[in-house]
Amino acid sequence: MKRKEILLSIVENKSLKYEEIGDLHVGTSFETPLRPDAFERDDELKMELIAKHFREIMLILGLDLDDDSLSGTPDRVAKMYVKEIFSGLNPANKPDVKLFENRYKYNEMLVEKNIEFHSNCEHHFVPIVGKAHCAYISNGKVVGLSKINRIVHYYARRPQVQERMTMQIANHLKEALGTDDVAVIVEAEHLCVSMRGVQDHGSVTVTAEYSGKFKEDRYRNEFQKIALG
């Protein structure tokens, strides 16, 4: 089968077979698992604690932290975790979506495709690299295009499971736009598959979420043609 035919088959079924997904790839819930006290510590304290524990990991691995190249690594990793690659855990960073009147009376689907993102697998804490394709049909309001990208990046910047991330993006779009007519397809390479375990360097995981009019053949097929064509 050609790539496009494989992707269409996957998104029609909305899920992959176990062998294609990998071990323990199914998420535990729609919400990212967080403890009730997740935000009692401020960012500065979190970075201090992470740096301390990452230093211990490096020492256990046998690395010389007196070396100029390594001495600042614990602090750099801590800042990266809190301020960058896991910043989507903090609801304070949730994108503020402002809507505008649909003055052009455009009533067909709007598609924002090839939104590149970097996330991290919550099972091994190694990167997930991919792109998201998002679509909606206006119910009278429209959103600035960059906000769709920001929503994708917000949910990508946390330890993730791709199925969960796809649903989180779709639900956020529905809530922000006030419409059920939303569709999302995510294609991604999981480095937990290519770097370890089976070490397969060619596989791509595809997930999809359709709601409202996108459950109808006309809209779903048109979206898939644009997104995966």
The single residue of 133, 192, 209, 224 carrying the catalytic annotation is: 192
The single residue of 121, 163, 172, 224 carrying the catalytic annotation is: 121
The single residue of 20, 124, 189, 222 carrying the catalytic annotation is: 124
The single residue of 162, 163, 209, 224 carrying the catalytic annotation is: 162
The single residue of 122, 163, 187, 209 carrying the catalytic annotation is: 122
- 44 phi/psi in degrees, rounded to 5: -65, -45
105, 81 Cβ separation under 8 angstroms:
no
The single residue of 20, 123, 189, 222 carrying the catalytic annotation is: 123
Rounded Cα–Cα distance for residues 210 and 172 (Å): 13
Q: Is 134 designated active site? A: no
Q: Is 122 designated active site? A: yes
Q: What burial class does residue 119 get, using C-beta atoms within 10 Å of its C-beta: 0-12 exposed, 13-18 middle, 19+ buried?
A: buried
- Closest C-alpha among 4, 33, 64 to residue 227: 4
Q: Is 53 designated active site? A: no
Q: Is 121 designated active site? A: yes
- Which positions ≥6 away from 45 have C-beta within 8 Å? none
- 207 phi/psi in degrees, rounded to 5: -130, 155
Q: Is 124 designated active site? A: yes
Residues identified as active-site? 121-124, 162, 190, 192
